[in-house]
Amino acid sequence: DTGVSQNPRHKITKRGQNVTFRCDPISEHNRLYWYRQTLGQGPEFLTYFQNEAQLEKSRLLSDRFSAERPKGSFSTLEIQRTEQGDSAMYLCASVIGGPEQFFGPGTRLTVL
């Protein structure tokens, strides 16, 4: 499979726990984006990387959120001390050159 992959597909956690999601972009895609989608809404931009550099972060990305892309390959999104408001679908997209984005299947987070 040469598409964008995300793991896990579903995550249920208790409030206050830390969670980490992984995104593997399409091979050789140099840009990687994270979006968050809450129920009934369109996806909202969180952050993006060009290779290993994180170039922009949305105001939605509070201090409890951190994203990395070591070596410019896969990326991780960590949420510390989860809150019920963090429940959402977390989507990853990758781009080669630009600008057409290709999305992964998403990670659905439920915070109890």
Partner 1 sequence: GIQVEQSPPDLILQEGANSTLRCNFSDSVNNLQWFHQNPWGQLINLFYIPSGTKQNGRLSATTVATERYSLLYISSSQTTDSGVYFCAGGTSGTYKYIFGTGTRLKVLA
Site residues, partner 1 (CB under 8 A): 31, 33, 35, 37, 40-45, 48, 55-56, 89, 91, 93, 95, 98-106, 108
Smallest separation (angstroms) from partner 1 to the CB of 42:
3
Closest CB to partner 1 among 44 and 80? Answer: 44
Instruction: Report cis status (omega within 30 of 0) of the bond before 70.
Output: no
Taking the C-alpha atoms of residue 26 and residue 101, their distance in angstroms, rounded to an integer, is: 11
Closest CB to partner 1 among 25 and 104? Answer: 104
Question: Can you say whether residue 103 is alpha, beta or left, with left for phi > 0 and alpha for psi between -120 and 50 degrees?
Answer: beta
Smallest separation (angstroms) from partner 1 to the CB of 110:
13
**φ, ψ for residue 85 (rounded to 5)?**
-70, -10
